[in-house]
């Protein structure tokens, strides 16, 4: 069983920085968190931890916030059981319910059933919630869809359920790919799931691209997304804080994309753009 390290991060002020720190920690291998009154507890496999990567995170040297941490080795824990204890259903606008198999069904709502394990994308995080909210008003019928950084593939599954003809889901993390395959089977949908990055994209083109990642990866990869996005195609982005929007829109404008809808939840934003 994998040995884990538990980090106790003290954050002042707590908001909005705790959510932003969690987003950055995910990028260096942290895979679960618990919120505390004065910070967060973060967990990472011991073999994945690199202290230089942690100290190099942008937020660790940001003047607006003070962050300190201590850590300890954790005893062996069944992390899937921990997920089950802490994963509650997510109801999005009384239209979509994201739940696990052990939750009570809601036949009156559109349901997506996932077993999150260690993958990112349960709907609890505001960015996943924002993506689903924006997708409520989008037309997926017979569309070809790409979900980049798919995590649990909850977005890819919803796109397929909404009538997409073909859906490709890609994530850099092997664990997410395995979890996505399982979740697709749970929801009886066919997805093209693979491990990779934007560099893995070939000559295929898409009507809709979903990318809930983070600012730096989006800035780097938006030109690639545009290159495989069909004319009049839609690009839906999240993983962004409100202060990232200007930089992201600058890159989008340079690529000929037009902003059609912007939405915010807490300090997080999502952008719907058209080519």
pLDDT at residue 192 greater than cutoff 90: yes
Same-domain pairing of 31 and 131:
no
Residue 224: pLDDT band with limits 50, 70, 90: very high
Question: Has residue 143 been placed in a domain?
Answer: yes
Whether residues 9 and 143 share a domain: the answer is no
pLDDT at 78 exceeding the cut of 90: no
Predicted local distance difference test score (pLDDT) of residue 122: 54
Mean pLDDT calculated for residue range 198-211:
93
- Claim to verify: residue 62 and residue 158 sit in the same structural domain: no
Higher pLDDT: 166 or 43? It is: 166
Give the pLDDT confidence score for residue 126 in this predicted structure. Answer: 80
Pick out the residues of the known binding site for S-adenosyl-L-methionine.
128, 149, 171, 212
**Domain count of the chain?**
2
Q: Taking Cα atoms as reference points, which of 89, 109, 110 lies closest to residue 99?
A: 89
Question: Residue 87 above 80 pLDDT?
Answer: no
Q: Does residue 242 or residue 185 have the better pLDDT?
A: 185
Q: Is the pLDDT assigned to residue 117 strictly greater than 70?
A: no
Residue 41 counted as domain residue:
yes
Residue 21 belongs to domain with CATH number: 3.30.70
- Structure confidence at residue 81 (pLDDT): 63
CB neighbour list of residue 146: distance below 8 Å, 6 or more residues apart: 167, 168, 170, 201, 206, 208, 209, 210, 228
Range of the domain at 209: 125-274
Q: Is residue 144 part of a domain?
A: yes
> Is residue 154 one of the residues assigned to a domain?
yes
Domain of 243, CATH number, reads: 3.40.50.150
Co-location of 235 and 167 in the same domain: yes
pLDDT of residue 90: 85
Q: What is the pLDDT of residue 26?
A: 87
In a shared domain, residues 164 and 69: no
Residues 53 and 131 in one domain: no
Can you say which residues are annotated as belonging to the binding site? 128, 149, 171, 212
Q: What is the pLDDT of residue 85?
A: 62
pLDDT tier at 120 (50, 70, 90 boundaries)?
A: low
How confident is the model over 82-104, as a mean pLDDT?
81
Please give the Cα distance from 221 to 215 (Å, whole number): 10
**Residue 137 sits in the same domain as residue 66:** no
The reported pTM is 0.74
3-14 per-position pLDDT tens digit: 889 999 999 998
249 lies in a domain? yes
% of the chain beyond a pLDDT of 70: 91
Query: Is 264 part of any domain?
Result: yes
Whether 91 maps to a domain, the answer reads no
């Amino acid at each position: 069983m994998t040995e884990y390290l538990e980090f106790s991060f003290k954050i002042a002020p707590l908001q909005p920085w705790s959510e932003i720190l969690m987003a950055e920690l995910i990028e260096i291998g942290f895979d679960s968190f618990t919120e505390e009154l004065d910070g967060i507890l973060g967990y990472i496999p011991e073999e994945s931890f690199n202290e230089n990567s942690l100290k190099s995170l942008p937020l660790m040297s940001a003047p607006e916030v003070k962050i300190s941490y201590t850590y300890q080795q954790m005893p062996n824990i069944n992390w899937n059981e921990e997920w089950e204890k802490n994963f509650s259903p997510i109801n999005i606008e009384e239209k979509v319910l994201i739940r696990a198999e052990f939750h009570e069904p809601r036949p009156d709502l559109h349901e997506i059933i996932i077993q999150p394990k260690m993958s990112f994308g349960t709907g609890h995080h505001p960015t996943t919630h924002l993506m689903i909210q924006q997708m409520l008003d989008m037309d997926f019928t017979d569309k070809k869809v790409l979900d980049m950084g798919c995590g649990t593939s909850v977005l890819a599954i919803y796109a397929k359920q909404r009538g997409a003809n073909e859906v490709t889901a890609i994530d850099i993390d092997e664990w997410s790919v395995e979890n996505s395959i399982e979740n697709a089977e749970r929801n009886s949908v066919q997805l093209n799931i693979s491990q990779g990055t934007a560099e893995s994209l070939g000559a295929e083109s898409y009507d809709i691209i979903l990318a809930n990642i983070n600012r730096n990866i989006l800035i780097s990869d938006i030109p690639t997304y545009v290159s495989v996005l069909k004319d009049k195609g839609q690009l839906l982005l999240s993983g962004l804080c409100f202060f990232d929007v200007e930089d992201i829109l600058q890159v989008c404008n340079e690529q000929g994309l037009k902003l059609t809808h912007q939405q915010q939840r807490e300090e997080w934003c999502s952008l719907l753009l058209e080519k």
